[in-house]
Amino acid sequence: MKNLIIISAPSGTGKTTLCKGIRKIFPEINWSISYTTRFKRPNEIDGKDYNFISRNTFDKHIKNKKLAEWENVYGSLYGTAKKTLNDAIKEKLFLLLELDVKGALKLKKLYPKNTISIFIIPPSFEDLKKRLKLRNTESEDVIKIRLKRFEEEINYKSKFDYIISNDILDIATNELVKIVKQIRRDKNNGFKNITI
């Protein structure tokens, strides 16, 4: 059953913004809350946007094999709990995940029968630069590293099932809504948390 829906994109493309929009539109859909050691941004809520944990706790989760995948993204660790995925599979829940590109590819490999993947691209490299600057959450140096990684990550877009360009936010959101609805319709036979 294809019930793990992964939304992924290079940093600054707008995946968090799009996911927030989708969460508002489909409040009934389950969300995978990642663990991270990254600092909490002012607009984020612990336990809702991420489970913000210390490096020490994260290392314990790795050691205890609690994570299905984990990544070092620009010096911060991000991971997905195995339990979240296994519960969703067992209970036939439609689960949305927001993941970095490497994490998305890893989960696709680990759960090939359960995943559908969506890759978000920026309208242009210039737009991406502007967005990262405007977001104002990282230093110039960190932004440079993210932009460099973009060139590598964009090569993976063909591995994803869908590609959406996030140019005008409302249009990109609508495209995402259409895909989510399509998946719900196609796979409606079993989802326990979705009624159409």
Interface with ligand ADP by CB under 6 A: which residues? 9, 11-17, 131, 134-135, 166, 169, 172
- Nearer Cβ to ligand ADP (14/79): 14
Place of tokens 């360009």: 165
Distance CA 23, CA 46 (A): 16
Q: CB 9 → ligand ADP: shortest distance, Å?
A: 5
- Nearer Cβ to ligand ADP (89/163): 163
- Nearer Cβ to ligand ADP (174/193): 174
Distance CA 66, CA 102 (A): 18
- Nearer Cβ to ligand ADP (49/69): 49
Bridge partners of 180, per DSSP, are none
Amino acid letter, residue 143: I
Yes or no: say if 80 and 8 are a contact pair by the CB < 8 Å rule.
no
Tell me the residue number closest to ligand ADP, measured at CB.
Answer: 14
- Nearer Cβ to ligand ADP (81/164): 164
Q: CB 23 → ligand ADP: shortest distance, Å?
A: 12
* Size of the chain in residues: 196
CB contact set of 171 (below 8 Å; sequence gap of 6+)? none
Q: CB 120 → ligand ADP: shortest distance, Å?
A: 7
Yes or no: say if 7 and 118 are a contact pair by the CB < 8 Å rule.
yes
Yes or no: say if 11 and 146 are a contact pair by the CB < 8 Å rule.
yes
Q: CB 172 → ligand ADP: shortest distance, Å?
A: 6
CB contact set of 33 (below 8 Å; sequence gap of 6+)? 47, 48, 49, 50, 51, 84
Q: CB 5 → ligand ADP: shortest distance, Å?
A: 16
